[in-house]
Structure 1
Amino acid sequence: MAELKQYIFFDFEMLCSNTGMTFASMEAIRLGAVKFDIETEEITTFDRFIKPTSAKPLSEFCKDLTGIHDRDLKDADDFKMVFEEFLTWVGGIKKSRFFSWSPSDIFRLKADASIHEISESTINKIEKRYVDFQAIFTKRVSKSNVSVETALHLYDLQFIGEKHNPMFDAYNTLRIYINFLNQPVKSDLIMVSRFIFENDLYSLDQINTYLNDKLRQDLHFLIDQCDIYPIKSAKKLLKRIRNLVNKYSNILVNRSGVFSYENISLVQYLVDYYYQFLLTYNEHTAYSSKILILDDYLIQPVNHLYSKQG
């Protein structure tokens, strides 16, 4: 695979209606993108209107939402020509990684490429190098799907440019990505706030103390676990432990290095216990067992948890 040299962030504006439309009919009417050179950090932009195959005038709703008017599309090129311009501007798919804020943009690209009979292999190359950055940001920082504006605010940033202009949407998504990469401490503090502390913020010198206290509270119920459960009870317990794993698993990533060894160990024991419990549960349900019996080795992580909290 060619060496990665640039990031391409792209965004589509599409046909829209307040009365509802199928995704297939929501053709792209504007493509905006920014290109970030990894070595030089130079940023270049791309912004083109696209004439859809539909000849219907834009709805008032769509005009208000996108800021696009029929006059903007009258002399615009069709999707195929704009996409060819886009590829020329990109300058090499194999050296690029493509990003958007939600997968709707890659779905739109694939749908319109199919309508206009664009080479499937070209689209496959882009899709192979595509990243849904909103999904990553949700998993690693924000917990829930948030808007570009909200994600910027988490880093104390304001949206730059014109709202609903896809080039500015792409540019601001790049800004979030750069902050996510270059501010791991800030990113982890935001993550802990949103995943664990219900949006309360703690300073860097406080975080491990409060995190340890919260872990102790949440993991205390494991200390008194028995080794025999009715299957229905085991299923409920498994769900409870899985929710805790989802809540704390980002601690193990520890991109910033701010989390203490003790807190990381506690979370690792929790994760190990969950997967061992899940394996045992699946084995028992496969044989239609009504009772789940935990082996001694499954209790060992709990004993570690107890000793760590003692």
Structure 2
Amino acid sequence: MNYIVFDLEFNQLYTKKNEEINTKSICEKKIIENSSVKNKSDSSDNKTCEMPFEIIQIGAVKLNDNFEIIATFNRLIKPSLYNEIHPFIEELTGINTEMVATEKHFPSVYKEFLKFIGSNDFVMCVWGIDDIKQLIRNIHYHSLNIHNNIKKYIDIQNLASKEFNTPKGNRLGLKTAVEFWNIPIQNDFHNALNDAVYTCHVFKKVFNKNLKPSIYSNPNYNRIPTNSLKVDTEKLISQFEKMFGRKMTKEEKSIIRIAYNMGKTHQFLK
């Protein structure tokens, strides 16, 4: 059996006016509107709800039973929904709009990814369940067939967190784990292939023979949201102003709001 250790980088909705876009609020609004309507609208809001995070890079390492690297995969992806790379994503990953403009769209890259995985039995390995969730979500968005084994996964972040006795509800960063096990840091983080390689090294440290893969069960994306606690963003900004001893600019307020909403997705935890 092979282990496919993979990592993804995502893009999300961005407007040139630097407006705050809360994809969660958009989705909740559309879900409620559509709950009493049979026909699904093809509006941009619905598309945002279906795929709030669009994959722009897939990086993967294939390991055999002896944990030897037998192949690697690294592809940038031309966006189909969010054509402009969000400035925050560009700063974090180094991926810009020009870099992906000439790349293939997700359906073609996904086909190449399946070819890379091969016909042998395999299990997916990820640093946190969100990459599995978003991979499947992108597959569904493009109406592609999903290989059953893609839902079979090992959450390496969860295994490493147990080694660290990480408090429940907290997530261990990939860089923290890499540094803890003295794994050489030779390339930047927040690059899909680099992170997949680092995750591979951590996997070797936490693997045990009794380890059993989990099966990912698709969440009901169209469920009507229940009431939940909300963060007072104005008070959040006020706290920043107290910390820095000055008023935040309009641009800084926008960055704080965007960073908060991105943080809630856990997609940038490493």
Cα deviation 1:68-97 (Å, max 9, x = unaligned): 0111111111111101101111112x5111
**Aligned ranges for residues 223-234 of structure 1 at < 5 Å?**
none
Structure 1 residue 62 displacement after superposition: 1.7
- Give, as a single letter, the amino acid of the residue that structure 2 aligns with 1:174: C
Structure 1 residue 8 displacement after superposition: 0.7
Cα deviation 1:121-144 (Å, max 9, x = unaligned): x1x3210x2112112222343424
Identity rate, percent: 29
For residue 33 of structure 1, give the secondary structure of its aligned residue in structure 2.
strand
Paired position in structure 2 for 1:160: 186
State the distance in 2 between where 1:55 and 1:72 align. Answer: 14
Paired position in structure 2 for 1:35: 62
Among 139, 145, 150, which residue is 1:113 paired with? 139
Q: How many residues align?
A: 174
Bigger share in helix = 1
Among 42, 49, 52, which residue is 2:76 paired with? 49
Among 90, 113, 116, which residue is 1:86 paired with? 113
Cα deviation 1:89-115 (Å, max 9, x = unaligned): 1112x5111111011100111110011
**Structure 2 runs not aligned, ≥5 long:** 24-48, 209-270
Structure 1 residue 20 displacement after superposition: 4.9
Is the alpha carbon distance of 1:119 and 1:42 closer, same or farther for their aligned partners in structure 2, counting shifts above 3 Å? Answer: same
Paired position in structure 2 for 1:136: 159
Q: CA contact under 8 A between 1:51 and 1:74: conserved in structure 2?
A: yes
Quick check: 1:65 aligned with 2:92? yes
Q: CA contact under 8 A between 1:12 and 1:28: conserved in structure 2?
A: yes
**Structure 1 runs not aligned, ≥5 long:** 183-310
State the distance in 2 between where 1:111 and 1:70 align. Answer: 22
Q: TM-score, normalised by structure 1?
A: 0.52
**Aligned ranges for residues 167-246 of structure 1 at < 5 Å?**
167-181=193-207
Q: Which of the two has higher C-alpha Rg?
A: 1
Q: CA contact under 8 A between 1:160 and 1:172: conserved in structure 2?
A: no
State the distance in 2 between where 1:55 and 1:42 align. Answer: 34
Quick check: 1:75 aligned with 2:98? no
RMSD of equivalent CA atoms: 2.1
- Give, as a single letter, the amino acid of the residue that structure 2 aligns with 1:177: F
Quick check: 1:125 aligned with 2:154? no
Structure 1 residue 163 displacement after superposition: 2.0
Is the alpha carbon distance of 1:150 and 1:40 closer, same or farther for their aligned partners in structure 2, counting shifts above 3 Å? Answer: closer
Q: TM-score, normalised by structure 2?
A: 0.59
Quick check: 1:15 aligned with 2:38? no
Structure 1 residue 59 displacement after superposition: 2.4
- Give, as a single letter, the amino acid of the residue that structure 2 aligns with 1:133: I
Cα deviation 1:226-259 (Å, max 9, x = unaligned): xxxxxxxxxxxxxxxxxxxxxxxxxxxxxxxxxx
Quick check: 1:25 aligned with 2:49? no
For residue 207 of structure 2, give the secondary structure of its aligned residue in structure 1.
helix
For residue 25 of structure 1, give the secondary structure of its aligned residue in structure 2.
coil
